[in-house]
Structure 1
Amino acid sequence: MNRELNWAVLGSGWIAGDMADAFLDEGRKVYSVGSRTKEKVIEFAKKHNIDKVYDDYHEMFYDDNVDAVYIATPHNKHFEAIMEALENGKHVLCEKAITLNSSELNQAVLLAEKNNLVLAEAMTIYHMPLYKKLSEMVRAGVFGKVNLIHVYHGSFREHDMNSRFFSKSLAGGALLDIGVYALSFARLFMPCKPTGFSSEVQMVESGVDETEGILLMNGEDLAATLTVSLHARLPKRAFITCEKAYIELDDYQRPQTAQITYIDTEKTETVSAGRKDKALFYEIEDMEDAILGKGNDTYLNLTVDVMDIMTGLREDWGFKYPEEE
């Protein structure tokens, strides 16, 4: 396949718009767009210079011109769309959290493997050039063994129980919305899947999680601590403490630079790579390389590990979404 890949976007919210604009910024266009609301998607297409709009969004899964589908619907609608896309031969890039739970994700992974298709989560952390560079340095032993990882991630959301952030019927809650970032960061820099975890959680009246503290452990004396909240403005900061140095990252979801401090000498240096404003297109580039057989990793194994952790945490909390009852 040498031609430029055709992408269909499912969804017409702000993140779908940002992805469509990411294509335009690279001199490309999204091939088509579909949504449950026809009037809204027509307006979306005009705004983002997309030529093809479906009368029924399901049509994108049967359009022979579509190579890959980017899914940007609410969390609890992901699984249905993923499966329909994979059943009809479309590669899938799906917004985080990719599914509600491990059972759904495992079914999707098996179907993707059966149909020889690429399935990936649109997780910026896995695709930022800075993290690829830091990961190489960590693996090469530049900073020594990783001992501790810590992540802060908080946003303040008004207590509107009907909003997507707090509505149980819309798969709301801090874990699936922002906790997935913190967990993905921690898993990226852990040499293996955590062997255990514990947590404390604060729920709101709608029955979803608002704030949680999470501790991850593995068998190599490495721990990760994560603080996640939808009721507190926290700096989106991450730290990796190694034997020889510690690494500090601001805006850790889409970072361009990392501050390195060497413990013995207190010498500091800045490591830079990539651009924040290209974060979404880095996801597309890695996805397309995987589709075209160029070998780039889509980090699906890490996505599976993170989903296992999130599913386990919610089981500990006794927290199920309506689709899981």
Structure 2
Amino acid sequence: MEELKWAVVGPGEIAHQFASAMQAEGRKIEVVGARNKTKGEAFAAEYGIGKVYDDFDALFADPEIDVVYISTPHSNHYEFMMKALQNGKHVMAEKAITVSSGELKDILLLAKEKGLIVMEAMTIFHMPLYAKLKEIAEERELGALKMIQVSFGSAKPADPTNRFFSMDLAGGALLDIGTYALSFARFFLNEKPSEVLSTAKKFETGVDEQSGIILRNDQDEMAVVSLTFRSKMPKRGIVAYENGFITVEEFPRADQATLTFTNGETEEITAGDTKMALQYEIRDMEKSIKAGENPLSELTEDVIDVMTQVRSEWGIKFPFETK
């Protein structure tokens, strides 16, 4: 397979990290799209990108592009992903990949019809540490999975005009940081949750400010997720088995964890490199395109289903939502 040609849509902070990861992989971005052409041109100059579009329809129609990386606010993801797929492009989109399961189902159906790959840029699903932790749980005979605890707190200023609290931009803790915590939990759960309980406190704009979510599946594996946008809380995940537990600090891009056995003995586990988080995403995306399938799709769908369910129960619907 020839080297894939990539485009970036939305030259924000995470796009800069992505472009740096592409450079570290010895790769080149061909095109960048930005509503503000001046911003797009500055991004292009920094990373040696040859084409700049301020017309997204023209970008998606560019016959030289194979893959589109979308890093706009997730309120735009559905529209841009559908257009990219309609034009025959593979798509990798930042988290949350969509705001609802209805949007994601449309996207995956179209991708299947077109023979294209769609992948969420969810670091947890790509960091080498996590695959290694699952292997170690079996090798060390930790027994059945019982309980997962995940916390993530971010101290955002109480600014109603900030995108984090905007209903129009699909703000709120759930879609911004909760997607990490739920992805962590779903990665270790052996099947999709069949029971979901939750409660949330809303910010003055109507988005969720903090919440607690409990998951349980038919194997009686459980997870407890704690989220807040108004106070700092450790990004910590704990996975408890019958014969020991795994602790992962700074879990979104983790490259190390601690295994604690029931007798108190500990073992440090390392794999991968935090600094390479987006490189692992790029590699997995290209591997999936080559194979013609995305093995992570089911995990992404399950996480979006949970977020859609709890947000519905909280009575939070964004103004632009149609699905």
**How does the TM-score come out when normalised to structure 2?**
0.97
Mapped partners of 1:87, 1:321: distance in 2:
25
Instruction: Check conservation: 2:152, 2:233, Cα contact below 8 A.
Output: yes
Mapped partners of 1:276, 1:260: distance in 2:
19
Corresponding position of 2:258: 259
Deviations 1:178-210 (A, max 9, x none): 000000010010000001111110101100001
Deviation at 1:55, TM superposition (A): 4.3
Deviations 1:61-94 (A, max 9, x none): 1111111000001111000000000111100000
Mapped partners of 2:306, 2:88: distance in 1:
29
Deviation at 1:142, TM superposition (A): 2.9
Mapped partners of 2:137, 2:108: distance in 1:
29
Q: Secondary structure at the match of 1:253?
A: helix
The equivalent position to 1:317 in structure 2, one of 300, 314, 318, is 314
Instruction: Give the superposed CA RMSD.
Output: 1.3
Instruction: Check conservation: 1:94, 1:121, Cα contact below 8 A.
Output: yes
1:137-286 → structure 2 map (5 Å cutoff): 137-138=136-137, 142-263=141-262, 265-286=263-284
Mapped partners of 2:71, 2:260: distance in 1:
38
Corresponding position of 2:13: 14
Deviation at 1:57, TM superposition (A): 2.6
Deviations 1:148-186 (A, max 9, x none): 000010110001111110011111000000000000010
Matched, 1:38 2:37: yes
Q: Which amino acid aligns with 1:132?
A: A
Report sequence identity in percent.
46
Deviation at 1:140, TM superposition (A): 5.7
State the aligned residue count.
322
Q: Alpha carbons of 1:229 and 1:120: their partners in 2 closer, same or farther (altered >3 Å)?
A: same
Mapped partners of 1:31, 1:139: distance in 2:
43
Deviation at 1:139, TM superposition (A): 5.2
Deviation at 1:220, TM superposition (A): 1.7
Q: Which amino acid aligns with 1:232?
A: S
Mapped partners of 1:31, 1:136: distance in 2:
38
Q: List gaps (5 residues or longer) in structure 2.
A: none
Matched, 1:300 2:297: yes
Corresponding position of 2:90: 91
Deviation at 1:29, TM superposition (A): 1.6
Matched, 1:102 2:101: yes
1:61-140 → structure 2 map (5 Å cutoff): 61-138=60-137
Deviation at 1:293, TM superposition (A): 1.5
Mapped partners of 2:237, 2:124: distance in 1:
12
Mapped partners of 2:264, 2:12: distance in 1:
46
Q: Which amino acid aligns with 1:246?
A: F
Q: List gaps (5 residues or longer) in structure 1.
A: none
Mapped partners of 1:142, 1:107: distance in 2:
41
Deviation at 1:229, TM superposition (A): 0.8
Instruction: Check conservation: 1:287, 1:298, Cα contact below 8 A.
Output: no
Instruction: Check conservation: 1:35, 1:41, Cα contact below 8 A.
Output: yes
Mapped partners of 1:141, 1:104: distance in 2:
41
**How does the TM-score come out when normalised to structure 1?**
0.96
Mapped partners of 2:199, 2:291: distance in 1:
43
Deviations 1:245-287 (A, max 9, x none): 1000111000111100111x32111111000010011011011
In terms of mean alpha carbon deviation, does 20-29 or 299-308 score higher?
Answer: 20-29
Q: Which amino acid aligns with 2:82?
A: M
Instruction: Check conservation: 1:286, 1:298, Cα contact below 8 A.
Output: no
